[in-house]
Amino acid sequence: MILVSSLVLFVHFLSWFSGVPKLDVGVTAVTFASNPIFTAIIGFLVLGESFKKRYLLAIAASILGIYITFYSGSEKGVNLRGIIEVLTASFFYSTYMVYSKRNRVSLNNGVYTFYLNLFTCILGFIAICIMSLFGSFQFSGLQTGLVENWKVLCLLALLPSILGHTLMIYCLPKYNLNFISCLKLLSPLSASVMAIFLFGEKITDKLVIGFLLVSTGVLFALPWHKVKFKGLRKKQLS
């Protein structure tokens, strides 16, 4: 099952890195923020987690938010293929989270993350070799600005990939799956803010509306009644 999770994670990375260069940071982040909805659906199908009617409202709000987000950059011409690739990355990320939660029931966090990253790297290297045979990838490109390239690659591998994924997988058995995926809504906000300072990108009204709609959709998906019920139980016991 680790190999299956690695394959899913590899497809996520492949579609993600293919779609990101085609879109602005804000559009990418808001579109990817739809992953909690995918997580709710896949979690119901794979883990048997309850699927409430509010998820339908969540899906509707998120789809509308993504639609508005797509047209937020229509003046510059938003790349439809990029949107589809980021949505694909979002779907496979949710699948990866669900299967990781199921695998963590019987596997230690350190063992699981080690073999998960190992198999994913092997799949990535095989893909690069195949792409180089067809001329889609040139190994010589890594030699341009070699030191700076490897600094960036190492930072990306250590911080968001290894550290971020290890901490997330550690939390999966301890917290609600939908709750964890909903916390990722912080990423569109932080990514958009950083893009303003780093790349000089502008936040349009439609992008804000799209983000708010996706946020509303995810808030519909949160199990608020369970949180309130637990809070009442604690008060009664105390």
Average pLDDT of adjacent 10-residue blocks, the chain of 238 residues: 90 91 80 82 82 73 74 65 92 92 88 90 89 72 63 74 82 80 68 71 75 78 56 48
Amino acid found at 66: I
Q: Which structural domain range is residue 106 located in?
A: 2-237
What's the rounded Cα separation, in Å, for the pair 4 and 116?
A: 9
User: Exposure pattern of 15-33 as b/e (b: 16+ CB <10 Å)?
Assistant: bbeebbebbbbbbbbbbbb
Q: What confidence score (pLDDT) does residue 47 get? A: 83
Q: What confidence score (pLDDT) does residue 238 get? A: 47
pTM score, whole prediction: 0.76
Closest CA to 16 of 145, 148, 122, 156: 156
Q: What confidence score (pLDDT) does residue 236 get? A: 47
DSSP state of 136: S
Amino acid found at 101: K
Are 201 and 29 within 8 A, CB to CB? no
> Residue 30 is encoded by which pair of tokens?
């808001």
Domain total of the chain: 1
